[in-house]
Amino acid sequence: MPASAARPVLWHLAMSHYNEKARWALDYKQLPHTRRAVMPGVHAIVAKRLGGRTTFPVMTIGDAVFPDSTDIIAALEELVPEPPLYPADPALRAQALELEDELDRELGPAVRRLGYQRILNDKDAATTFLAAGGPPLRKTMLSAGFGPMSTRMRAVFEILGPDDPRSVTTIEHYLELIEERSADTGFLVGDRFSVADLTAASLLAIIVCPDAMPGPPLPPFPAGLRELLGPPLDRPGGAWADRIYRTYRPGAR
What is the CATH classification number for the domain harbouring 59?
A: 3.40.30.10
Last residue of a domain, one of 79, 111, 141: 79
Last residue of a domain, one of 79, 110, 137: 79
> Long-range pairs for 179-183 at CB < 8 Å and ≥24 separation?
179/235, 179/236, 179/237, 179/240, 181/99, 182/240
| Residues 6+ away with beta carbon under 8 Å from 179 | 235, 236, 237, 240
Residue 109's CATH number: 1.20.1050
Task: Tell me, yes or no, whether 242 lies in a domain.
Answer: yes
Question: Which class for 185: exposed (0-12), middle (13-18), buried (19 or more C-beta within 10 A)?
Answer: exposed
Q: Is the whole-model pTM more than 0.85?
A: yes
| pLDDT tens column, 118-139 | 778 888 888 887 777 777 788 8
| pLDDT tens column, 73-84 | 999 999 999 999
Q: Say if CB 14 and CB 133 are below 8 A apart.
A: yes
The residue range of the domain holding 22 is 9-79
Q: Say if CB 153 and CB 159 are below 8 A apart.
A: yes
Answer yes or no: is pLDDT of 47 > 80: yes
